[in-house]
Structure 1
Amino acid sequence: MDPEGSCTEDDPHVKLMMEGSTLRKVKSRFWKKQRHFRLLEDGLTIWYKSGWAGKGHSKFSVSDLEAVREGHQSEVLLSIAEEFPAELCFTLVFHGRQGNLDLVAETPDEAQAWIQGVRKLIHKAQNMDEQGRQDQWVRDWFLKADKNKDGKMNFKEVKKLLKMMNVDMNEDHALCLFTMADKSETGYLEIEQFVHFYKILTQRDEVWKVFQDYSGDGEILTLEELECFLRVEQQEGQHSSHRAEELIQRYEPLESAVNQSAMTMDGFQAYLCSLDGSIFKPELLELHQDMTQPLSHYFISSSHNTYLLENQLTGLSSLEGYIQALKRGCRCVEVDSWDGDDGEPVVYHGHTLTKKILFKDVILTLRDYAFKVSEFPVIVSLENHCCLEQQTVMANHLRQILGDMLLTAPLDGQIPERLPSPQQLRGKILLKAKKSGGLETRLDETLAYEASDEEEVADGDPESPTLKDPQAEENKKSKLSRELSDLVVYCKNVRFQGFEQARSNATCYEISSFSESKAKRLSKEAGAEFVRYNSQQLSRTYPSGMRTDSSNYNPQDMWSTGCQIVALNFQTAGLEMDLNDGFFRQNGSCGLILKPDFMRDANSRFSPEKPEERPGYKPLRLSIQVISGQQLPKVNMKEGSIVDPLVRVEIFGVPIDQVKAETSHINNNGFNPVWNQTLNFIIHVPELALVRFVVEDFDMTTKNDFIGQFTLPFTCIQPGYRHIHLLSKDGTPIPPSSLFVNVSISELT
């Protein structure tokens, strides 16, 4: 079933995929096994098994795929490059943290058929409208439940399928709807009839009530009635007449209604479920902020231990870590470099069992992926543990591989008084590392440097008494190659020696690193000073060395003091990465967010601990009516298991804004639960607040199971009746799961 309704079977590439191919699935240099792959009739599911006679098989949806890489574009395929030429090889890249699938075809033509065919199908899946996604989701379920593959289901089978879809409903009502859909009166529903049955089943009473409130005749919304709804409920007062006409043209399926500038219930629901009806203001998803201010005025999406895919003791080091982070808009990656056995520096988590990767391969990966998602600068945070000779090798690799991408001198040849802007640094890679002297000086080939905070101790306070020992002080001196030192321009690592010293001596291109514990302490003890410091200087914060599981701290604590480079383990899913993803979703997902004006002022009096003392302090009231949920995913795949969902709204921001509230749970309904409960909050610093919606499966005896979430900045919320399209724990969409809410934002009276 083609996603857009037109036949894809005529496409020669897709046709070959449907006929099937024997491809080698490659997991390593030593694991290469043949599997039979084919595209199923729905045009969106790829199925494969180990042998024609074997029972074991797997499948995945094209909508799970993000891209196809051609040739030797993975570490695994590079390792077998001598055995299999590039024209036979390709990699299927999945959304989120799911591992890639490396494949080798029998012939170049067959490889091209799969590469081009999958790309076409990905393009179609990505361009489906909300209704198309919904229909495809329903068809997927039908095909999953149609065990004998006869393309039809009786009522007993439909009841079983509804349970699989998280629907627990009255049997008489279901039978009544089944009979309505069975227009041919055969006692069976074919796939199109089942889609119709599902549409009847999913008619939304709560949306119908809103429609009725504004429709004069209960059948349509006239242009004036839709304008009124947009003005009163959606608070879209400006140009509401033009806006109403635009929405009718975009979402109304009935041509006769479009011709009379009216909207039916189907069009109204399509609008509410669309991007325009989403809780996130669509215009703020685009690049819209001023990108001409000094780099210190921006929050920068930043990764810690970027080379790791798992934990930092035994996890796999991989180039894929860099690719995944950069694809998510990350603009600061970490490279831990150590001496390699053959004179080639390697990257890994030192003194651990993590696998090593070549430094030059990391730089090649940066060259290829740094600017695919964002044109703004990438900072390479280099932790240098190499001898002089291998430091020089690193410098040569950086220069030769990156070429003009690498910034090697101040932009205008002048010593800067303030950092250049993201706009000025577009397409540039900046090295953050130790440098001897300033931009003004060039010293001898062998240079002494003082270790930065991050290298003094694994994690702890660099001002700890243990560091005052004379021997420890002497050990902090090391040697730095001039070639590497000269590549550091705007991000010179220095040890933080207090706010007073920074005020009198710091230059704009010096950057200090802070452990999470030190950053939190400074925020609590000297919040306003930290904010002022960060208006001029770049700061990097990093997770505790005790987090051997690669867990994360709450980045909001660091953003609230203006720290720009808040490094997180991108490889670790959970709350903290939800916050990071939600925060950086705005501004075109470019990886940089302009700080609020009161955090860019060198004379700022703002302190996260005392927000009420800031000039212009104006708290807001946030009221969220959680109305209903739609098609929530099951968390327990046991037959007959239905979720008991509840919704929790969590606010993250300055300490006084860290609050949460939740609805009651609904028993046995993951299909269309209705809460109609209102949660109220006071937001003291709206400019720094994030709002996270979490859906969980209630359990009285154990911890609730996670169902889905969505996080966004408070400033990006659209008031009114809105849908929240839920994301998985991995941060990937789980259509058609959503929440329906009514949001109101007002000033405190």
Structure 2
Amino acid sequence: MTTNNHLSYSTVYSLITFCFNGTQKQGHISFKTFLQGFSNIKVSLTRNANTKDIEAVREGHQSEVLLSIAEEFPADLCFTLVFHGRQGNLDLVADSPEEAQAWIQGVRKLIHKAQTMDEKERLDQWVWEWFKKADKNKDGKMNFKEVTKLLKMMNVEMNEEHILHLFKMADKSESGSLEMKQFVQFYKMLTQRDEVWKVFQDYSGDGEKLMLEELESFLRIEQSEGEKGPQHAKELIDRYEPSDTAINQAAMTLDGFQMYLCSPEGSIFKPNYLELHQDMTQPLSHYFISSSHNTYLLEDQLRGPSSLEAYIKALKRGCRCVELDCWDGSDGEPIVYHGHTLTTKILFKDIITTLKEYAFKVSDFPVILSVENHCSVEQQTVMAQHLRQILGDMLLTCVLNGQIPEQLPSPQDLKGRILLKAKKIGDVEGCMDETLTEFSDEEEMTNGDSDSPTKENPSADKKPEKLSRELSDLVVYCKSVHFHGFEHARTHAKCYEISSFSESKAKRLIKEAGTDFVQQNKCQLSRIYPSGFRTDSSNYNPQEMWNVGCQIVALNFQTAGLEMDLNDGLFKQNGCCGYILKPKFMIDPNIHFSPEKPEVQQGYKPWRLSIQVISGQQLPKVNQKEGSIVDPLVRVEVYGVPKDQAKDETTHINNNGFNPVWNETLNFVIHTPELALVRFVVEDYDKASRNDFIGQFTLPFKCIQTGYRHIHLLSKDGTAIPPSSLFVNINISEFT
């Protein structure tokens, strides 16, 4: 196996389907059978497949399937291929540990190669993939008929005479077909971008290249990067200019200029904001925390599967608060599932083992385990034993420095630690009461929020339940308590107490006393969870909760859509660590902020956001019917305080998903920039029915780079769809 090889999800699954011969067990096949499939249909790991489909390779028993057959197949024979997005994983068993390691290391090299490609390599790979798709007879050449079909596949509606003209220009040998190198030339002519050329011409003295001082001028005037000086311009030339001759002249050609604009440095997201850059030494209550609801579920909340994979995916997405609904298991081992439903069950101890492995792969900052406890005292004690034995020193079991806290510790203080959020006997100061009489977190619907058809109604005949001392002792900084009102909280609440609110109750409190909610969230944590009526695992809009400073705004991570786009957009900054420092007016106890009236805030300064939507590049097809081409439009949506909620869109472009040009400007006024998120959505216009989603990108307003920028679009489930992008020119100025 070489590092140039590629393995795709579709290729693997076609092999599995082909070589399935009755030896399959519970979703796995032997590696010998798998390899035989390659031999049988003469498929090798070649460049006709796509490495970027594979996210990771996991060694050992790291899935429900492999755990279930652990006695039959040792861990050193087993591994799992993990695919991006919503594609299922593939469990494999090798014939020997050496064979398993050879493939594990080989596939990891492929993944590393795919992840470390520069812009030119990514583009080359993309062109190669289209060449393979278009070369129907697999002769390594493309005739004119194949080229015209290719353009349809690429979302292009183009005059046939123009296509023929470009084809003949690329066909230097006049053979009537294009080989790979000639196809690259054809593609280069096809993708000449007049809108980029015009910007280039504005600053190029000779129309052929940008000299160092000309590039520096562009960066200063258009990109607002003048403070970086000539050294920055020289670094961009060295990094993105493909011509050695131009580099030696300290100049950038049009090819290099376009490569820079398409790079991370030319993207809309400020590169330094992608890194961990915020103060992480403030109390936990001062941060928004990426949080998941019913983390164990992969699908709906009535019949969907529960899976360890759901926890892994959430944690790898930056989630820092996961939920476990715990119930008595029939064999004395606690289980996790959505109570009173037909969702499948998984063992509590397996989840804890998974959390130990993956809690800190993406972020070093603390993970909160939000436990919905429905277990008997006996099985609660088993839960406590598993937590201690499996997590060891990772589990926080006592206050830091032996001091009674007056404020919550910081993410920095709690690095590498796992915190339990649950009911507790007494308090940290030592108050004892063996009997728990309060209802569990998601049973607060008795106060007018009866919005959960799947949770037991405690108002019927529920009796007070006992709480295990062993489990209670593991709760330190996240003691779950019932909310008795803001006035009661002001006089009685302690910093380590946390209340949970259904979305409907939270919305009511926001409407009735939004400012009080902001004040409480300055010193205490609040958790919001979706209505129980969302049996399809849909989500509420988290922005309304963030507007009043709620930290743990829990969403169903398994459900793609606007709500998870906003969550991913907010937490993309600060190194994707799962913690975002709240604005000063949500931290300082002397500032009283009202999301309904941002204009009364001291230092209020609104901004004008002007977005010129110039063009789009290589937008994906949404309708796979032959001859179908998208009619794209771009909508810009702003989410924030009520005054900032706005959206506007361009007109649609008929039959062009390859290089549509709009040149339309959309304007917005941002009243509270610290809380605003901006979402770019591309849709396929349909006058007779609802528009089809093509791609989106969401980011905080404060993370936007001005100037000529590319927006690299994401699919519905949040994965990249290169090279699809938008080209925009952004201006931000004070609104007067």
TM-score bracket relative to the smaller structure: over 0.9
Quickly say closer, same or farther: Cα 1:36–1:265, change in 2 above 3 A: farther
Give the 5 Å matches for 1:142-157.
142-157=131-146
1:304-330: CA deviation from partner (whole Å, max 9, x where unpaired): 000000000000001111000000000
701, 706, 711: which one pairs with 2:688?
701
Shift of 1:77: 1.5
Aligned in 2, Cα 1:522/1:721: closer, same or farther, shift over 3 Å?
A: same
Q: C-alpha offsets along residues 677-703 of structure 1, whole Å, 9 cap, x if unaligned?
A: 000000110000000000000000010
Give 1:43's aligned residue: none
Aligned-partner Cα distance in 2 for 1:461–1:65 = 43
8 Å Cα contact 1:460-1:544 kept in structure 2: no
Equivalent of 2:232, from 243, 261, 281? 243
1:651 to 2:638 alignment: yes
- Indicate the residue corresponding to 2:315 in structure 1: 326
Structure 1 Cα separation of the partners of residues 375 and 419 of structure 2: 19
**Corresponding residue SS for 1:582:** helix
Change over 3 Å in CA distance of 1:226–1:36 after alignment to 2: farther
Structure 1 pair 28–744 and aligned structure 2 pair: CA distance change class (3 A): farther
In the TM superposition, residue 673 of structure 1 has moved relative to its aligned partner by 0.1
**Is 2:312–2:354's contact at 8 Å kept on the other side of the alignment?**
yes
Aligned to 2:428: 439
Q: Deviations over 1:69-93 (max 9, x none)?
A: 1222211122122333333322111
Identity across matched positions, percent: 74
Corresponding position of 2:115: 126
Query: Which is worse superposed, 345-354 or 233-242?
Result: 233-242
- Checking the alignment, whether the CA contact within 8 Å between 2:30 and 2:94 is kept in structure 1 is no
TM-score (normalised: structure 1)? 0.92
What is the Cα deviation at residue 9 of structure 1? 6.4
Report the alpha carbon displacement of residue 10 of structure 1 after superposing the two structures with TM. 10
Q: CA deviation at 1:33?
A: 4.9
1:2-401 matches, within 5 Å, as 8=3, 29-33=25-29, 52=41, 61-401=50-390
Structure 1 CA distance for aligned equivalents of residues 464 and 184 of structure 2: 71
Which stretches in structure 1 are left out of the alignment for 5+ residues?
12-16, 40-46
Q: 1:454 aligns with which of 442, 446, 450?
A: 442
Shift of 1:372: 0.4
Matches within 5 A, 1:654-693: 654-693=641-680
Deviates more, 1:109-118 or 1:570-579: 109-118
For each residue in 1:260-306, what CA deviation from the matched residue of structure 2 results, as whole angstroms up to 9, or x when unmatched? 21111111101000000000000100000000000000000000000
In structure 1, the partner of 2:726 is 739
Deviation per CA, 1:86-120: give whole Å up to 9, x if none.
33322111122221111223443332232111111
Q: CA distance change for structure 1 residues 38 and 219 in 2, over 3 Å: closer, same or farther? A: farther
| Alignment check: 8 A CA contact 1:459 1:546 kept | no
| Aligned-partner Cα distance in 2 for 1:651–1:722 | 18
Question: For 2:612 and 2:357, how far apart are their aligned partners in 1?
Answer: 46
Which stretch has the larger CA shift, 165-174 or 334-343?
A: 165-174
Paired residues of 1:306 and 1:570 also in contact (CA < 8 A): yes
Larger CA deviation: 419-428 vs 80-89: 80-89
Within 2, Cα distance between the matches of 1:505 and 1:599?
21
Q: 1:498–1:319: structure 2 CA closer, same or farther, 3 Å change rule? A: same
Q: Which amino acid aligns with 1:112?
A: Q
Q: Secondary structure at the match of 1:457?
A: helix
Shift of 1:456: 3.7
In the aligned structure 2, how far is the partner of 1:663 from the partner of 1:508? 48
- Name the CA distance, whole Å, in 2 between partners of 1:10 and 1:516: 48
Q: CA deviation at 1:132?
A: 1.3
**Partners of 2:37 and 2:478 in 1: CA distance:** 49
Quick check: 2:59–2:79 contact (8 Å CA) kept in 1? yes
Name the SS of the counterpart of 1:239 in structure 2: helix
Q: CA deviation at 1:436?
A: 1.5
Q: Give the deviation of 1:129 after TM superposition.
A: 1.2
Confirm whether residue 531 of structure 1 aligns to residue 518 of structure 2. yes
Aligned residue for 1:290, secondary structure, equals coil
CA distance in 1: counterparts of 2:248 and 2:42, whole angstroms: 57
> Which residue does 2:709 correspond to in 1?
722
Question: How far apart, CA to CA, are the structure 1 residues paired with 2:34 and 2:459?
Answer: 63
AA matched with 2:525: L
Cα separation, 2, equivalents of 1:125 and 1:711:
24
Letter in 2 for 1:147: K
- Which of 518, 523, 533 aligns to 2:505? It is 518
Aligned to 2:564: 577
> 1:732 Cα shift?
0.3
CA gap of 1:28–1:402, structure 2 versus 1, over 3 A, is farther
Secondary structure in 2 aligned to 1:415? Answer: coil
In structure 2, C-alpha distance between the alignment counterparts of 1:27 and 1:590, rounded to whole Å = 43
Q: Is the 8 A contact 1:286 1:588 kept in 2?
A: yes
Which string of whole-angstrom CA distances, capped at 9 and with x for unpartnered residues, describes residues 451-501 of structure 1? Answer: 24422438953899xxxx9x9498463210111111000000001111111
Q: In the alignment, which residue of structure 1 is the partner of 2:407?
A: 418
Structure 1 residues 497 and 276: alpha-carbon distance in aligned structure 2, compared to 1, 3 A threshold: same
Return the letter of the residue paired with 1:415.
I
Give the Cα separation in 1 of the matches to 2:158 and 2:37: 35
TM-superposed CA distance for 1:24, in Å, is 7.6
Given that 1:364 and 1:401 are in contact with CA atoms closer than 8 Å, whether structure 2 keeps it comes out as yes
1:223 and 1:460, CA in 2 relative to 1: closer, same or farther beyond 3 A?
farther
How far apart are 1:373 and its partner, in Å? Answer: 0.3
Structure 1 residues 387 and 687 mapped into 2: Cα distance closer, same or farther (>3 Å)?
same
SS at structure 2 position matched to 1:360 = helix
Greater displacement, 604-613 / 681-690: 604-613
Q: Which residue of 2 aligns with 1:556?
A: 543
Q: What is the CA-CA distance between 1:187 and the residue it aligns to?
A: 1.0
* 1:150-202 CA distance string (max 9 Å, x none): 11111111111111111111111111111111122211111222122101110
> For the residues of structure 2 that align with 1:192 and 1:701, how far apart are their CA atoms?
43
Q: How many residues align?
A: 721
Corresponding residue number in structure 2 for 1:629: 616
Give the structure 1 partner of residue 9 of structure 2.
none
CA distance in 2, matches of 1:483, 1:699: 60
Determine which of 590, 603, 609 is the counterpart of 1:616.
603
Q: 1:64 deviation in Å?
A: 1.2
- 2 CA distance for matches of 1:178 and 1:476? 79
Secondary structure, aligned partner of 2:569: helix
CA distance in structure 1 between the partners assigned to 2:69 and 2:629 by the alignment? 46
Q: Bigger shift: 339-348 or 66-75?
A: 66-75
> Counterparts of 2:136 and 2:451 in 1: how far apart (Å)?
66
The aligned amino acid for 1:606 is: F
1:130–1:274 Cα contact (<8 Å) kept? yes
The answer on 1:428 being equivalent to 2:414 is: no
Kept in 2: contact 1:460–1:515 (CA 8 A):
no
- Displacement, 1:438? 0.7
1:590 to 568, 572, 577: 577
Equivalent residue of 2:522, what SS?
A: helix
Shift of 1:406: 0.3
Q: TM-score, normalised by structure 2?
A: 0.94
CA distance in 2, matches of 1:565, 1:147: 52
**4+ runs deviating over 6 angstroms:** 20-28, 34-39, 47-50
Contact 2:28 2:91 in 1 (8 A): no
Letter in 1 for 2:382: V
- How far residue 418 of structure 1 moved from its aligned partner, in angstroms, is 0.2
The RMSD of aligned alpha carbons is 2.6
Distance in 2 (CA, whole Å) between partners of 1:229 and 1:128 is 27
* Aligned CA distance change for structure 1 residues 285 and 202 (closer, same or farther; 3 Å): same
What is the CA–CA distance in structure 2 between the aligned matches of 1:178 and 1:33, rounded to whole Å?
A: 47
Look up the SS of the partner of 1:177 in the other structure. Answer: helix
